Structure 1
């Protein structure tokens, strides 16, 4: 019996493939960075063909490290959510660069229709915001010459990145998505579990564009045998944050995980209940298995690791992300400096697409160290914003916050996070929990595992960070953050 699972983790700033043993052990990995394009202010694009080429490269590299494809039972896929691709069915060529989830070009379009937000939220659990796919689809259909007519004629296909990769992996044979990715489009009825005709009409999206919606562990076809030496079954798909919920074994209602990658995404399992937020958090799917939906409450922060990347690449205050920890450790504090990373607006719980980033509290004593530390601290302040919103919605504080993603390797950051939240922070042995979640779903779909609960026993903690900051200091720092955010908000 095959003893390995191949996971594709296609993220906003990188594409990764990992080979896991059925016991959860990492057997091989390969990764390549993905460049962003910013053609206009607030616009963020990806080259979808580059994403596909990179996916092929990292899969082949991981399989070569792991001894080939013969031992692979199935492939699982997880992806940056909401990012929108439309392509020609006949040629497989995109009609335009992919519009990334961070892209804000449809902010005015959404703002003009805010009167409909409550109606949309009741159906989808989401807010009317450029973050989600629907307004991006509408923009492409209205701005690419001939696109709307071709879409209505059935010549074009829409997909989030999972769908785009499934299409290419299967040689154009399968046009499908999973329920978690579908639930992030603003076109999916959360309670009914399918595309919603009234939403399609509102956004002007032809049904012919849309993929079939499947469970997270399901038959998504097989890979073209020419790609990896044999046809590998594609059996698991979930959006990256939902895959992390599974990889972190947050399977009981009330358990919370936070993933720190390009952005930060905090997700609380709410079980069979769709918990409607009064504080502008999102009601969403955690996963759907055997036709049964498990729901979640989610808070989305647009800039976490991306803010550190800005320090490195745009203003060149650091040479590597790892340097940020050295700077932070070298100071007792920021001397009142706050950085609000609203480079593409503010996400939850503010949802202010017009807000812009700022550094506040600068004096003649301020230097690189204060700015770098303030950038790291901003990630923790934004996380507390989310936890406060969840608490305001009636959720109890979790016994611990399970964390993952590239930023959690920073011990200083994890300790400051525990201090600011007054909540223990748990870091797992396998930090790549999104890829791990995709592998678990593939294993479920291929019959390698009997249930999610069976696999949750593989989760192991590497380190627990206990809060140690005095309450007075914690509240004073957070009050300064709230004041800083108030200064950059557009309303």
Structure 2
């Protein structure tokens, strides 16, 4: 790598960098802030400063003059002797043409009109465009994303708090996101299916609703526990198994664990961000098709949970909506008409006290699984 660096043949980027580079026939090497902000090489506080400064400058009316390279964390990168020459130029997420594909690929050149990170695109698809709009995304992992408007979030909890990301960047518009996550969501359902707890994932909600609460708890930690504990040495575990424990009770415990992890992250959100003005939360992702999980989350967080239509495709829809703005198919003000709420779950206060009791018992059970693989 050192040899390639000296020869000027070494480059670093995100997945969007590689895709756009290949699509453009090696002509365009860029990234955009929502992807770049997940690398650890990006300084959201510096870009916020420069964005605010340039907005006040009358000679620079729009952000097209804002040097993209200012957004990489140059101070920290230089401290660690990171070769900044390998970094791609940062572009917008949408609003301008990012690249044009090599006409050899598709028979004619096609413009690349938008690029965005997975969760940020889902946030956009859910219509959460203003400050304090919140999305719960349930897919490969579970994510709680809060639109923090024009300012990056700064957690006082360090690695145990929410982390700041760029939501999207358009000309004259820059949005930030605060995020907390759990990596174990779809994987625990695939594992449960593989060991024969059910044959079809669509029946899991009915299975959970069909059985009584049994005092059985599942800790979802195949990849450790992320927000707010950040323990990568934690282990998975069923706690409270008895001779009469049924498959239905095991499935219920697993589905509850997904909702309980969201509740843990939600507590962190409430600790760090004023959500008093939040009237609802939206949800997306393939696992959000499970009504039992969505109802449990709504009851725990005490807010209506609105599931968008076609939730499995939220990330693809979000970036497509951005591309439509670039191509002039619609304006930002027209996007409300594109948001379709498929179902709304409202808190069930008749069971909330018992559910919160179970959540506390589940948190106590989790303590047994933390630091399990410590060396």
What TM-score bracket applies, with the shorter chain setting the length? 0.7 to 0.9
Matched, 1:336 2:215: yes
**Higher RCO structure (Cα 8 Å, ≥6 apart):** 2
Match of 1:220, SS state, is strand
How do 1:310-321 and structure 2 match up within 5 A? 310-313=191-194, 315-321=195-201
CA distance in 1, matches of 2:86, 2:197: 44
- Asked if the contact 2:34/2:116 (under 8 Å) is kept, the reply is yes
Residues 290-301 of structure 1: pairs in structure 2 closer than 5 A: 290=171, 292-301=173-182
Instruction: Please tell me whether residue 419 in structure 1 is matched to residue 299 in structure 2.
Output: yes
Partner of 1:275: 153
Q: Is the 8 A contact 1:186 1:199 kept in 2?
A: no
Q: CA RMSD in A?
A: 2.0
Q: How does 1:342-357 map to 2 (within 5 A)?
A: 342-357=221-236
State the partner residue of 1:165: 19
Question: Structure 1 residue 291: deviation in Å?
Answer: 5.0
The residue number in structure 1 matching 2:362 is 481
- Identify, as 1 or 2, the structure richer in strand: 1
Corresponding position of 1:446: 327
Match of 2:238 in 1: 359
Q: Aligned residue for 1:197?
A: 74
Higher share in helix: 2
> Which of residues 351, 357, 373 is equivalent to 1:470?
351
Match of 1:308, SS state, is: helix
Where 1:389 maps in the other structure, the secondary structure is helix
Residues 26-425 of structure 1: matches in 2 within 5 Å?
Answer: 147-193=1-47, 194-202=71-79, 205-217=82-94, 218-279=96-157, 280-290=161-171, 292-313=173-194, 315-333=195-213, 335-397=214-276, 398-425=278-305
Cα deviation, residue 377, structure 1:
1.0
Q: For structure 2, list consecutive stretches of 5 or more residues without a partner in the other structure.
A: 48-70
Shift of 1:330: 2.2
Matched positions, count: 342
C-alpha contact (below 8 Å) 1:152/1:208 kept by paired residues: no
Q: Distance in 2 between matches of 1:204 and 1:305?
A: 39
- Structure 1 unaligned spans of 5+: 1-146
Paired residue secondary structure (1:188)? coil
CA distance 1:440–1:373, change in 2 (3 Å): same
Task: Quickly say closer, same or farther: Cα 1:197–1:330, change in 2 above 3 A.
Answer: same
Query: SS at 1:235's partner residue?
Result: strand
* Aligned-partner Cα distance in 2 for 1:246–1:170: 26
Distance in structure 2 (CA, Å) of the matches to 1:169 and 1:458: 29
Cα distance in 1 between the residues matched to 2:353 and 2:252: 20
> Hey, what's the Cα distance between the residues in 2 that align with 1:152 and 1:419?
58
Write the distance in 2 (CA, Å) between the matches of 1:418 and 1:321: 21
Counterpart CA distance in 2 for 1:460 and 1:410 is 18
CA distance in 1, matches of 2:192, 2:322: 36
